[in-house]
Structure 1
C-alpha cells in the first residue's frame, strides 16, 4: 500500500466518470454543467471503460481497498454497470449519485457488484428541492432511494449539503431517516472555497450542538474525527413541535419511534479531517490529484498504459500535502494558500521510493 510523506496509507480512490450532471445545484463547483440527455457512451474528454478499469487494476496492485464512483452525475455513463462488474475482486465499490436513474438501474448495479450508494438529497419538499438543485426530479430521487433499498443497497446514505438555503430543513431530514429503516444521513459542511459565496456558510457547530442535545448517543469516529449521532424520530418531533410523518409514498405506517444515524462531514475547522484522509482522486479526463480541493497538483496518466498509471500514482501520493492548517493557512479570518506548497516541482524517483515503503 502506498504511503505519503505524512504517513497516510492510500486505501481508497474516488473516480469521477464525468463532469456532466442533470442537476444544476447552486452550491456545486460544477454549477452550470446541467446535462439532461440521459445515460450515454463516454464523451471525448472522459476516460473510456477500459481506461477506468485499467486504472483500478493498477490501484489494486497497490492494495487499494475501495473505489467510489462520482461525477458530475456518474449515472450519466451508460457503461457504469460494466465498470462496476470489471472492478477487481476484493475492491469495495460505492457510488455517489443524485438518484434520478436508480429506479431503472439499481438492480443492475447490484448484480454487477455495487456495494454501497450515497444519494444527494438536500430537501424533502419538492419546491425547496427544486430551488436548490434547479431540477424538477424530486419524485425520481425519492423513487431512486426506494429502488436502492429494494435492490439491497442497505443502508442508503443521504447526502445533504448544509448552508444558508438548506439549514432549516435539517430537523425534518433527521426525522426522515429515523422514521425509515435502511436510511442514514450525512450532513456535509458547505465549503465556499469550492463554490464561492462565503455568505452562504453557516456555523456547523450549531448543528452539532442541536444534535447532541437530542441524541440517544454520540460516537466519535477516528476517521476524520467525525461525530455520529443516533437520534429518535420522537426526539426530533419533540424538539421541533412537529409530528413524525413518513416521507415515502408506501403502505407502511411508521410509529415515529425509529432511530436514525446522522454523521456530520465538517472539514473546514477540523484539523484532523485532512490529516486522516486516505484517498486520492481521479478526474474524468484521467488526471490524478491528491486532494479534492486542489487543482495545482494534477498529474496526467498519459495514454493510460499501466506503467504510466503506476508512475503517476506513486508521484501524486508522494506529493500529497495536508490541506487546512498547512496547505491552506488562515490570515485575517480567510483561508489562503500557503505559498510553500505552490510551484514545487514533482519528484519522481524519490516519490516512488517513499511511496513503495509499506
Structure 2
C-alpha cells in the first residue's frame, strides 16, 4: 500500500465520502444533497446509482492510495438494501462511518455494527416534534429518537447528532447541548448553514455567536486537526462546530474527496465544476480519475474563491474559463 496522495497544497487525502443514493424519505428545507442541489427523484432504486460492486471496487482502489476512512451518505443511505454488504466488503483497515436520518436504524443497527460500521451521525435538528416536522417535512420524530437509541445500544457510539444551525433551529442549540451532556453515548455536531448551496440567505445566522456562547459555557476547548474544527466540552458532553463558510483554515485542512451516487468524483463540497466521471468504473479508470481529482483540488476559500475589495467572494481569475469536467 502506498502513502496518501497529496494535492498541490500539501493536503493528503485520507478520507472519502460516498453518496450511495440521492433518494430520501425526508425533505429537509436546508438540504443541498452533498452540494449538488435538489436532485432527488423517485424513491425506487434508480439505474444511475452505483451498484454494490462499483462501490466496493472504488474503495479497494483508493485503499491502495492510503485512504483510511470512508463515510457513507445520501440522500438516505439506509434506503440501500445492500448497505450491510457494502460495509462488510469495505477494506478491513478502513474506518467506516455513516450519516443517516436514523429512521431505519431500529432493526438494522446491530446488523450494521456486525458488518463493520464503526460509528454513525444522525440528523436531529430539534428536540421539538413540531419544529422537527417543519424542518424535515416528516412526522418521523419518534422514529429518529428510537434510531439514536438503537445505535447506542448496538455499540455505534459515540453517536453524533447533526444539527444544522440556522433561523429555524438556533433557539434549540442550548437544549441540544444539554441533551448530550454527561456520558450517554451522544455527541453534538453543530453544522453551519450554507446559504450559497440552499438559496435562502435570509435563514443564515452568525455562527461566531454560537462559538462565543459555547466558549463561555465550556469546561475546556480543543482544536481538531481535521478542518481546524473547535470542540467544546460542556458538563461532560462534547459539542463540535463545523463551519466551512468563508473559512480559509477549514478548507486548508480538508483531506477528503467526495463521490456522487452516479459515480462522479468531486474535490470539494462547494464545487460542481470539477465533477469527473469514473466511466465504467474499471480499476484503471477509478485510479486515473482519483489521481486527477486530487491533483486538481483547490482550497475553496482563499484560493478558488477570493475576497474582493468590497469584501465579497468571487472566483479567482486564474480559474475563470476552466472547462467543466465531463
TM-score category of the 2 structures, normalised to the smaller one: over 0.9
Distance 1:109 1:184 in 2: 20
Distance 1:109 1:343 in 2: 45
Instruction: Report deviation, 1:335.
Output: 2.9
Distance 2:185 2:257 in 1: 29
Other-structure match for 2:207: 204
Distance 1:56 1:334 in 2: 39
Distance 1:103 1:10 in 2: 33
Which residue among 173, 194, 197 is the counterpart of 1:194?
A: 197
1:268 maps to 2:245 = yes
For residues 106-151 of structure 1, what are the alpha-carbon distances to aligned partners after superposition, in whole Å with 9 as ceiling and x for unaligned? 1110010000100010000100100111110000100000000010
- TM-score (normalizing by structure 1): 0.85
1:75 maps to 2:78 = yes
Distance 2:40 2:126 in 1: 19
Other-structure match for 1:63: 66
Other-structure match for 2:158: 155
1:130 maps to 2:107 = no
Distance 1:86 1:131 in 2: 38
Pair 272,24 (structure 1): closer, same or farther in 2 beyond 3 Å = same
Other-structure match for 2:106: 103
Alignment of 1:6-21 (within 5 A): 6-21=9-24
SS in 2 for 1:108: helix
Pair 35,301 (structure 1): closer, same or farther in 2 beyond 3 Å = closer
Instruction: Report deviation, 1:334.
Output: 3.4
SS in 1 for 2:106: helix
Larger radius of gyration: 1
Pair 132,33 (structure 1): closer, same or farther in 2 beyond 3 Å = farther
How many pairs are equivalent? 318
SS in 2 for 1:326: coil
Pair 54,264 (structure 1): closer, same or farther in 2 beyond 3 Å = same
SS in 1 for 2:184: coil
Other-structure match for 1:254: none
Which residue among 295, 298, 312 is the counterpart of 1:334?
A: 312
Instruction: Report deviation, 1:343.
Output: 3.5
Other-structure match for 1:356: none
1:2 maps to 2:5 = yes
Pair 48,208 (structure 1): closer, same or farther in 2 beyond 3 Å = same
SS in 2 for 1:212: helix
1:93 maps to 2:93 = no
1:305 maps to 2:308 = no
SS in 2 for 1:288: strand
Indicate the RMSD between aligned Cα atoms, in angstroms.
1.8
Alpha-carbon contact 1:21-1:36 (below 8 Å) kept: no
Other-structure match for 2:172: 169
Distance 2:178 2:154 in 1: 23
Instruction: Report deviation, 1:193.
Output: 0.9
Instruction: Report deviation, 1:180.
Output: 5.7
Other-structure match for 2:218: 215
Instruction: Report deviation, 1:329.
Output: 2.1
Instruction: Report deviation, 1:36.
Output: 8.9
For residues 17-74 of structure 1, what are the alpha-carbon distances to aligned partners after superposition, in whole Å with 9 as ceiling and x for unaligned? 011111111111247667795xx6x420100000000000001111100100011111
For residues 219-270 of structure 1, what are the alpha-carbon distances to aligned partners after superposition, in whole Å with 9 as ceiling and x for unaligned? 12222121111112xxxxxxxxxxxxxxxxxxxxxxxxxx210011111232
Q: Where in structure 1 are there 5+ consecutive unaligned residues?
A: 233-258, 348-358
Alpha-carbon contact 1:55-1:304 (below 8 Å) kept: yes
Distance 1:56 1:88 in 2: 7
- TM-score (normalizing by structure 2): 0.93
Instruction: Report deviation, 1:340.
Output: 2.0
